[in-house]
Amino acid sequence: MVQEGQPIAQEGQQFAAPSFSPRPQQMMGFMDALTTVYRNKYVTFSGRASRSEYWWGYLGYVVVATVLQIVGLIGAIALMDVNESLAGLAILLPYLAVLGMIIPSIAVSVRRLHDTGKSGWMLLIILIPCIGIILWLVWMIEDGQAHDNAYGSVPTNTLE
């Protein structure tokens, strides 16, 4: 039985050597990662994502979401005296923008799991209290497989 992410043996071979492709020597930069996650691969759940692409994308999500929430709150406070419905809209708009960033964040998480040789469905482990978060964190931190796996070739850390 072939395990997920493992190379398949050719006919007549007992074991197949994985197609080796060295891990990228340089990590993906912050802006390259944001461009890849939020523009080039907005809803791409297939393929693989390196650690740097994942963590820079995650940092970008947290920074943008925090800034939007602060701006929305300040805007709501400033508009409270003018019009309460405009103040409510100022609170609501940042949430809509953050909602638009959830799908690419899930997509890059699935691609990161693919890089470690795991199915994207393993992301659901987050729903298990305590243990799920710990396992998810370990999987996101661990180095990806240094060879081609069932989900694609080794990420190049360059813009596509």
Please count the residues of the chain: 160
Domain ranges of the chain: 37-141
Query: Are 33 and 60 spatial neighbours (Cβ–Cβ below 8 Å)?
Result: yes
What is the C-alpha to C-alpha distance for residues 104 and 97, in angstroms, rounded to an integer? Answer: 12
pLDDT in tens, the chain (160 residues): 445 555 555 555 566 655 555 666 678 889 999 999 999 999 999 999 999 999 999 999 999 999 999 999 998 888 888 888 888 888 898 999 899 999 999 999 999 999 999 999 999 999 999 999 999 999 999 988 888 888 988 888 777 6
Question: 3-state SS of the chain: helix, strand, coil percent to 5?
Answer: 55, 0, 40
What is the C-alpha to C-alpha distance for residues 24 and 21, in angstroms, rounded to an integer? Answer: 9
pLDDT value at residue 1:
46
- List the alpha helices (DSSP H) in 18-124: 30-35, 51-79, 84-100, 102-115
What is the C-alpha to C-alpha distance for residues 48 and 144, in angstroms, rounded to an integer? Answer: 9
pLDDT value at residue 100:
92
